[in-house]
Amino acid sequence: MLLQQVVNGVMLGAVYALIAIGYTLIFGVLGMLHLAHGEVFMVGAFVGLVVAGRFGGNIVLALAAAMLATGLLGLVVERVAFRPLRGAHHLAPLATTIGAGIALQETARWYFGPEQKGFPSTIALTLWELGPLRVSSVQAFILVAALVLMGGVHLFLARTRAGRAVRATAEDPTVAGLLGVNVTAVVVLVFFVASALAGAAGVLVGLAYNSVHPFIGVQMGIKGLVVMLLGGLGNVPGAMLGGLVLGVLEVLGVAYFASSYRDAFAFGAVMVMLMLRPEGLLGLRLPRRD
Amino acid sequence: MLIQLGINLILALSLYFPLSAGQLSLGQGGFMAIGAYVASWLTAVLGWPWPVAFAVGAAAAGAVGALVGLPALRVRGIYLVLMTMAFGEIVRVFFLNFAPTGAAQGFRGMPFVTSLPVVAGLAAAVAVLAARTAASRMGRAFAAINRDELAAEVVGIDVTGAKLVSFTVGAVVAGLAGALWAHYVQFIEPEEFGFARSVMPFTFVVVGGIETFWGALVGAAVLTVLPEWLRFLKEWRLALYGLAMLAVMIVRPQGLIDHRLLAAMRRWRPGHAKEVAR
pLDDT of residue B130: 86
Average pLDDT in the B239-255 region? 81
Facing residue for B242 by CB, picked from A27, A99, A271: A99
User: pLDDT tens for residues A138-186?
Assistant: 888 888 899 999 999 999 998 999 999 999 888 888 888 898 888 899 9
List chain B residues with CB under 8 Å of A261: 93, 97
Q: Which of A274, A275, A279, A286 best probes binding to B when mutated, by most B CB atoms within 10 angstroms? A: A274
Q: Is A255 on the interface with B (CB under 8 A)?
A: no
* Whole-prediction pTM: 0.84
Q: Is the pLDDT of residue B172 over 90?
A: yes
Q: How far apart are CA A153 and CA B133, in angstroms?
A: 50
Q: Which of these ranges, A58-72, B63-77, B121-135, B212-226, has the smallest mean pLDDT? A: B63-77
How much is the pLDDT for A195? 95
ipTM: 0.77
CB atoms within 10 A of CB B58: 26
- Are residues A35 and A22 in contact, defined by beta-carbon separation less than 8 angstroms? no
Residue A92 and residue B206: Cβ atoms within 8 Å? Answer: yes
Q: Specify the length of chain B in residues.
A: 278
Q: A290 pLDDT band (50/70/90 cuts)? A: very low
A226 and chain B in contact, CB less than 8 A: yes
Check B77 against A226: CB less than 8 A apart: no
User: pLDDT digit string (tens) for A172-185?
Assistant: 888 888 988 888 99
Dihedral of CA B247/B252/B257/B263: which sign? negative
CB-count exposure of residue A234 (10 Å: 0-12, 13-18, 19+): buried
CA atoms of A206 and A210, how far apart (whole Å): 5
On the question of pLDDT at B271 being above 60, the answer is no
% of chain A with per-residue pLDDT over 90: 26
Residue contact B71–A275, C-beta within 8 A? yes
The better pLDDT of the pair A112, B72 is held by A112
Distance CA B190, CA B62 (A): 19
Instruction: Suggest the residue from A33, A42, A89, A112 to mutate for an interface test with chain B (most B CBs closer than 10 A).
Output: A89
Q: Which of A125-134, A278-287, B210-219 has the highest mean pLDDT?
A: B210-219
Chain A residues within 8 A of B249 when measuring between CB atoms: 85, 92, 95-96, 99
pLDDT value at residue B267: 73
| Domain segments of chain A as ranges | 16-213
pLDDT of residue A288: 44
Residue A69 in contact with partner chain B when CB distance is under 8 A: no
User: pLDDT band for position A209 (50/70/90)?
Assistant: confident
Residue A160, chain B, CB below 8 Å: the answer is no
State mean pLDDT over A132-137: 76
Pairing outcome for strands A127-130 and A133-136: antiparallel
Task: Compute the residue count for chain A.
Answer: 290
What residues of chain B lie within 8 A of the CB of A260, using their CB? 93, 96-97, 104
Least confident of A243-257, A272-286, B255-269: A272-286
CA-closest candidate to residue B23, choices B124, B157, B170: B170
Least confident of A8-22, B33-47, B262-276: B262-276
| pLDDT at A188 exceeding the cut of 90 | yes
Alpha-carbon gap, residue A225 to B86, rounded angstroms: 10
- DSSP letters of A116-156? -B---TTS---EEEETTEEEEHHHHHHHHHHHHHHHHHHHH
Distant-in-sequence, close-in-space partners of A220: CB < 8 Å, separation ≥ 6? A19, A38, A41, A42, A201, A205
Instruction: Kindly tell me if the per-residue pLDDT of B239 is higher than 60.
Output: yes
Mean pLDDT for all residues in chain A: 84
Cβ-count burial A172-185 (b if 16+ within 10 Å, e if not): ebeebeeeebebee
| CA nearest neighbour of B36 among B242, B243, B192 | B192
Residues of B within 8 A of A278 (CB-CB) are 74-75, 79
pLDDT tier for residue A121 given thresholds of 50, 70 and 90 = low
Give the whole-angstrom CA distance, residue A38 versus residue A101. 8
The alpha carbon of residue A175 is apart from the nearest alpha carbon of chain B, in Å, by 23
Q: Which of A42-56, A83-97, B108-122, B199-213 has the highest mean pLDDT?
A: A42-56
Mean pLDDT, residues B52-62 taken together: 91
Q: Is A84 on the interface with B (CB under 8 A)?
A: yes
Strand partners, B102: none
pLDDT value at residue A287: 45
Q: Given CB atoms, is A267 within the 8 Å cutoff of chain B?
A: yes
Comparing A52-56, A159-163, A199-203, the range with the smallest average pLDDT is: A52-56
The C-alpha angle with vertex A241 and arms to A155 and A289, in degrees rounded to 5, equals 85
Above 90 in pLDDT, residue A46?
A: yes
Sorting pLDDT into bands at 50, 70 and 90, what band is A283? low
pLDDT recorded at residue A278: 67
DSSP character at residue A259: G
Burial class (CB within 10 angstroms; exposed 0-12, middle 13-18, buried 19+) of B193: buried
What's the pLDDT at B97?
Answer: 83
Comparison of pLDDT for A106 and A70, the residue scoring more? A70
Q: Check residue A258 and give its pLDDT.
A: 67
- The better pLDDT of the pair B149, A46 is held by A46
Averaged over B145-173, what is the pLDDT?
88
pLDDT at residue number B174: 93
**Chain B residues with CB inside 8 Å of A94's CB?**
81, 202, 206
Residue A259: pLDDT band (50, 70, 90) is: low
Query: At residue A289, does pLDDT exceed 60?
Result: no
Q: Between residues B73 and A111, which one has the greater pLDDT?
A: A111
Are A80 and B250 a contacting pair at CB < 8 A?
yes
